[in-house]
Chains A and B, each alone.
Chain A
């Protein structure tokens, strides 16, 4: 196992961290713009959140408190591995409480409780390029971003609406940042998309395999692509509640009782659910 005595604080050498921080600063300065960075090798396989981990390692300090979630859960294999690794090479305190964390690294979800201005949310991104679904060539998507030529993206949304009556994209719904760049918010559900707009916290996005970093600084305008007459819709959980804590109006995972075949629901944000139960909330 990695031991702090044998490695630099936060595993990466200081030069690497500085370089990643420079990319982060550039990303913050140009919200939604994908900044290339020299993705480092880590003792974790690419595709397991190495982009996010590198960001976390570059910004973390001894006083930080870290939370790591995967699909909303603090206990999934991926989240646990990342926590073990970062904790081993930094010694920082680990928490499951979104409000207590100064850095939250996540995949597929944004916590239920609105994040505050001192907090940083680090999102792991598999495919940073939002235009990939309409254009396979990197050189062309770069040019499209440079020129703000987003018609093909709008056209696919149009085709979806015309042919299917609705837009088929569920997670990873493309957003327009500060009226300039179309950005992939990473595979968060639609339910989380509005949280990106005008938030108090800082969002950092890292794609290790594709070597890209981007950011949404606090109070940035982030809007899902929507037609004037067809409002963006999020997942709707009306009439459903968590079978553990009774929460309503939150993002719920659907589960099936193996014996009865009945469907029941559970908070996707396990930290949120646990805290509610500690406070005595019941179904």
Chain B
């Protein structure tokens, strides 16, 4: 199952360096790196949601991100997708400035371009990723329009093709996602995220809250999509079973930091960090 993606000679498709996201101003205490209480400052209550996160995603790989609720996974994903500005850090996409330009420092126009052409995002909460009252096809067209699409016929054909790829019948493309089940909504999000053939797909808890049988379908779909679209995937989940099934490599997050990283089998079969050990054993 695992293609070797930790070949260090290969250039990462996405590289994140020193990503830090603070909710709050910080104070003399926490800004000087003094110990926090979990992820927040005991003095000023500033939340350090991501704290010096480093990772690289290699071409064609699925990189798993595990960690308990509140460990900063969603914050990291949304920052990479430019949903809000980072406090510190840099990120590099191979497709942007030959991987040498910090995309966090890009202009608003450039960010829009990167977001619409190079990345796709599936939110944990479909309400964040979809317009529930617009048609399923319209949701996909939104991404195509944002990337400059102005041909009604070809956009509609593309929407139909993408929906088919996630096993939604063309006959339902005029229906709004609010009529769809949770699993279908996530599949519409996935097809929307893939609309412009991005290099990087960001999946935040795509299967959380779905029935087990539906979960299995979505997991199969993700595996198939990696092959069909040749996309690299950052896969966030708090569910180790999901990570084991899909991720080539995995990083473990705790309180805004990455505390362990390696091949998924390695991490799950022979965890080194006490927290990872606890996480893995609680599942057994």
- Contact partner, B135, options A151, A154, A162, A230, Cβ 8 Å: A162
**Are B112 and A149 touching (Cβ within 8 A)?**
yes
Question: Which B265-282 residues have C-beta < 8 A from chain A?
Answer: none
Contact A159/B134 with A227-B151, A229-B151, A230-B152 known, Cβ cut-off 8 Å: yes
CB distance from B82 to the nearest CB of A (A): 13
Q: How far is the CA of A154 from the CA of B145 in the complex (A)?
A: 7
A129-172, CB < 8 A from B: 147, 149, 151, 154-155, 158-159, 161-163
Task: A56 to B151: give the CA distance in the assembly, Å.
Answer: 41
Contact of A229 among B146, B152, B174 (CB under 8 A): B152
In the complex, whether A278 has a CB less than 8 A from a CB of chain B is no
A151 CB contact (under 8 Å) in B108, B146, B154: B146
- A151-B142, A163-B135 given; A158·B155 CB < 8 A: yes
Q: Check B138 for interface membership: any CB of A closer than 8 A.
A: yes
Cα–Cα, bound, A80→B150 (Å): 44
Residues in B whose Cβ lies below 8 Å from that of A147:
108-109, 112
Mask: chain B, 117-150; 1 = CB below 8 Å from A; 0 = not: 0000000000000000011011001100110001
Shortest beta-carbon distance from A229 to chain B in Å: 5
Chain A residues in 8 Å Cβ range of B138:
155, 158-159, 162
B137 / chain A contacts, CB cutoff of 8 Å: 162
Instruction: Check A158/B145 contact, CB under 8 A, given A163-B135, A228-B150, A228-B151.
Output: yes
Number of interface residues of A (CB under 8 A): 14
Interface of B is mostly: helix
Q: Tell me, rounded to whole Å, the shortest Cβ–Cβ distance linking A202 to chain B.
A: 30
Give the Cβ gap from A162 to chain B, nearest Cβ, in Å. 6
Query: For window 228-273 of chain B, which residues contact chain A by CB distance below 8 Å?
Result: none
A276 to chain B, nearest CB (A): 40
Note all chain A residues with C-beta closer than 8 A to B174: 162-163
Q: Give the residues from 61 to 119 in chain B that come closer than 8 angstroms, CB to CB, to chain A.
A: 108-109, 112
A227 touches B142 (CB 8 A): no
Using A147-B109, A155-B138 as known contacts, say yes or no to A161 and B152 having CB atoms under 8 A apart. Answer: yes
Query: What residues on A are CB-neighbors of B33 within 8 Å?
Result: none
Q: Which residues of A contact B156 (CB under 8 A)?
A: 162
Interface centre among A149, A155, A158, A163 (most CB of B within 10 A): A158
Contact in complex: B112, A227 (CB < 8 Å): no
Q: Is the CB of B145 within 8 A of A155?
A: yes
Contact (Cβ within 8 A) B152 A155: no
Q: Is the interface of A mostly helix, strand, loop or mixed?
A: helix
**Residues of chain B with a CB closer than 8 A to A162's CB:** 135, 137-138, 141, 156, 174
Q: How many residues of B contact A (CB 8 A)?
A: 19
B153 x A229 contact (CB < 8 A): yes
CA distance in complex: A154, B155 (Å):
12
Determine whether the beta carbon of A154 is less than 8 Å from that of B150: yes
Contact A227 B150 (CB under 8 A): yes
By the criterion CB–CB under 8 Å, are B142 and A155 in contact? Answer: yes
Given the complex of chains A and B, what is the CA–CA distance between A96 and B183 in angstroms? Answer: 65
Q: Which residues of B contact A155 (CB under 8 A)?
A: 134, 138, 141-142, 145
Contacts of B108 in A (CB 8 A): 147
Given contacts A147-B109, A163-B135, contact A158 B141 (CB under 8 A): yes
Return chain B residues, CB-CB under 8 Å to A230.
152
Q: CB-nearest residue of chain B relative to A146? A: B108
A161 to B112, CA, bound (A): 26
Complex contact A158–B152 (CB within 8 A): yes
Partner of B145, one of A151, A161, A228: A151
Q: Complex formed: what's the CA distance from A229 to B137 in Å?
A: 17
Assembly CA distance A230 to B155 (angstroms): 12
Q: How far is the CA of A155 from the CA of B130 in the complex (A)?
A: 13
State how many angstroms separate the Cβ of A209 from the closest Cβ of chain B.
29
Which B residues are in CB contact (< 8 Å) with A229? Answer: 151-154
Cα distance, A198 to B141, chains bound together (Å): 31
Compute how far the CA of A167 lies from the CA of B113 in the bound complex, rounded to whole angstroms.
28
Residue of A nearest to B147 (CB): A151
- Determine the chain B residues whose CB is within 8 A of the CB of A161 once the complex forms: 152
Q: How far is the CA of A149 from the CA of B112 in the complex (A)?
A: 9
Cβ–Cβ < 8 Å partners of B145 in chain A: 151, 154-155, 158
Q: With A and B bound together, what is the CA distance between A149 and B142 in angstroms?
A: 12
Q: By CB atoms of chain B within 10 A, which of A149, A151, A163 has the most?
A: A151
Contacts of A228 in B (CB 8 A): 150-152
Roughly how many angstroms separate A162 CA and B151 CA in the complex, as a whole number? Answer: 12
Give chain A nearest CB distance to B272 CB in angstroms. 46
Q: Mark contacts of A34-49 with chain B using CB atoms, 8 A cut-off: 1 yes-contact digit, 0 otherwise.
A: 0000000000000000
Picked from B112, B135, B153, B154, the residue with its CB within 8 Å of the CB of A159 is B135
Q: Which 10 A/B pairs are nearest by Cβ-Cβ distance?
A: A227-B152, A228-B151, A151-B146, A154-B145, A159-B138, A151-B145, A229-B153, A158-B141, A228-B150, A230-B152
Could you list some 5 contacts between A and B, CB below 8 A?
A147-B109, A155-B134, A162-B141, A228-B152, A229-B151
User: Given contacts A155-B142, A159-B134, could you give 18 more A-B pairs where the C-beta distance is less than 8 Å?
Assistant: A147-B109, A151-B142, A154-B150, A155-B134, A155-B138, A155-B145, A158-B141, A158-B145, A158-B155, A159-B138, A162-B135, A162-B137, A162-B138, A162-B156, A162-B174, A228-B150, A229-B153, A230-B152
